[in-house]
Each structure stands twice: as structure tokens, then as C-alpha cells.
Structure 1
Amino acid sequence: MSIQIKICSTQEDVKLIAALADKIWHEHFTPLIGKEQVEYMVEKFQSEQAIGDAVNHQNYRYFMAFDGDRLVGYCGVQPQEKELFLSKLYMDQAYRKRGIAKSLLEQAKIYAKELGKPSIYLTVNKGNNGPIAAYLKMGFTNDESIVTDIGNGFVMDDYIMRLRLQ
């Protein structure tokens, strides 16, 4: 397996990310937060329109992991005032636990350092135990607990985790 990482740069890339996001979210998050909230969140945050808007108007950068011509994972980051926000880090189920997420995170770390950001932070659902364990293994600390109203009667009940780079 030879994984290639590239930066999302075309509308076709955005479409590929949105299609993978839809698949991952329905498989992984439906048991965690329910189908109705998954569908709402995919449309609001992971749809082709939402990802395109993030790239074109919100200063997001997406790193894409390919196995040949198949997109198998991606991460989306957004520079904040003091640190880099790791908004998304998702892997196709068949490609988890192979070090690909770590490779995507390495790209985010390089980008954060280029921007002079001393840390990367993310939010993760409190019940999402596998990713929480993976983030801890990659050096993140669990810094706080938050509940965020995302509209339509839904909330995100998350931990904020942070990776210090310096």
C-alpha cells in the first residue's frame, strides 16, 4: 500500500471528500448520535457545498490521503488566531489503524509550524472512544469539555483536545 497525500485544490477534490464524508459519517456516527443528527451534520459541515465554502471562503486547507486513485481519508484544518484548528480527520473504515491518520496529522503539524502556530486543537465527541484513544496516542491532551448548540435542536457534546508543538 502506497499512500499519497495531496492538498484539496479542485471542485472534483471537494466532491470526493464530501462523498467519503457521507459514507464515514453514516457508518461511524449513526450509532453514536443517531441518523437524524448525522444527516443534519453531514449537510451542514460535510456536504460538497459546506466543504467548498470552507476551502474557498473560510481559509480551510484539506489534506487528502489516496491509495492509488481511491480517497481513503482526509483532514481539514483552519488557522485560528493563536493555533491551528483540526476540524476534521476521518478515515475510511477499511483503512483505519494503518498509520494514515498519523500521516495526515503530520501534514497538519507542518502547516501549523509554517504558520507559526504553537499548537493544534480539535473537538471530539465524548463517546467516540477509538479516536480519543488514537489522539492521546498521537500526543494530544484532553483539555476541557464543551457542549455546543449546532442548531435544529442538536448539540455537540465534545472534548477539546490539544497537541502542543513547541
Structure 2
Amino acid sequence: MIKIKPALSLTDFKSISKLADIIWLEHYISIISLEQIEYMLIKYNSVQALEDQVNQGFLFFCITYNNIPVGYLGVKKEIDFLFLSKLYVLNDYRGKKIGKAAMQYVTELTNSFQLKKVILHVNKFNTSSILAYKKMGFIKTKEIVTDIGNGFIMDDYEMVKAIEN
């Protein structure tokens, strides 16, 4: 059974950070360098980074499958859209409809905020995730290159999904 609950405690943020360490090394090592992965884990997925993002308006959620922590999700309400910042699932749990359940949760959040679309950024070389997002109704709208410091960039597509309230 898939459960998604708000991440509110230090324990939740530690769990997310631990999952990030595993998932990012599993998934991104064929896409970006180990140095960039390590940098991005500290900059965006450490306990301190997650707490800082919460202070900037982000909401995080822990995803469990049969009571086992398997992933996490992060969103931020913007003026006219919900920004999906993070949606990550452990490799061994992919293909179990966890991503689909998470996107349904994101759709419900979008509706609760009375917004009409979800926007996300995905690495241009993350072909499996791009394909999954397309199957969920997202379309590529533009290319975005972001300087994230330390000599690294994020080379992404912006993808958008219209949500019917």
C-alpha cells in the first residue's frame, strides 16, 4: 500500500535526505558527474537544505510502500501554478505505480490550491523520467540552463501539465 504524508519533523527530513543519497547515486550517475551529484545532494537534499526550502515555502512529503520509506516529493505553490521540485523513488520500487500515486497526490494539491497547472524541471538526459512524465500528461515547453554554483549547471526541460479542477 502506498502512503504519502507531509514531512514535518526532523526525523522526516533525515529520512528524505537518506533516501536522496541512495536514489541520486542510483539514478543520476549515468547522467551527471559524481561531483555534481554530491554537490546537489548537499545543496538541495541535505536536512539543512530541506529546512531552508521549507522556510521559502516548499512542502515536502514522505512516500512509503507497505510502510517502507521508498521516496519523497517536494512542491511549491506559486501564483498561478504548482512547482513540482522533487519526485524521487528508490530504484527497487519503480514500476509499482508509486510515481503515478504521487502525481495523483500532486494533482489533488494543485486542486486544493485552486491552481490550473503543474510545472517541473527535468534533466534533458533523464530519458526514463521524461517518458514517464509524458505518459502522465506533461508536455515539454522550453529548455532551461541554470547555473547552480561551483562550476555546475542544470540542463533541463521545463514540462507542464494542465490540471482540470
What is the deviation of 1:141? 0.6
CA-to-aligned-CA distance 1:44-89 (integer Å, 9 cap, x gap): 001111112222x011111221124421011100011210000000
CA-to-aligned-CA distance 1:2-49 (integer Å, 9 cap, x gap): 222211111100100000001111111122111000011110001111
What is the deviation of 1:148? 0.7
Unaligned runs of 5+ in 2: none
What is the deviation of 1:147? 0.7
CA-to-aligned-CA distance 1:143-164 (integer Å, 9 cap, x gap): 1111111111111110000010
Query: What is the total number of aligned residue pairs between the two structures?
Result: 164
Does structure 2 conserve the Cα–Cα contact (< 8 Å) formed by 1:112 and 1:119? yes
1:48 pairs with 2:47: yes
Counterpart of 2:12 in structure 1: which amino acid? D
CA-to-aligned-CA distance 1:93-148 (integer Å, 9 cap, x gap): 00011110111111111111111111000000000000000000000011111111
RMSD: 1.0
Using the alignment, how far apart are the partners of 1:124 and 1:63 within structure 2? 19
TM-score (norm 2): 0.96
Using the alignment, how far apart are the partners of 1:51 and 1:105 within structure 2? 20
SS at match of 2:29: helix
Match of 2:130 in 1: 132
What is the percent sequence identity of the aligned residues?
A: 42
Match of 1:109 in 2: 107
1:19 pairs with 2:15: no
Match of 1:93 in 2: 91
Unaligned runs of 5+ in 1: none
More off after superposition, 42-51 vs 61-70: 61-70
SS at match of 1:31: coil
TM-score (norm 1): 0.95
Does structure 2 conserve the Cα–Cα contact (< 8 Å) formed by 1:76 and 1:88? yes
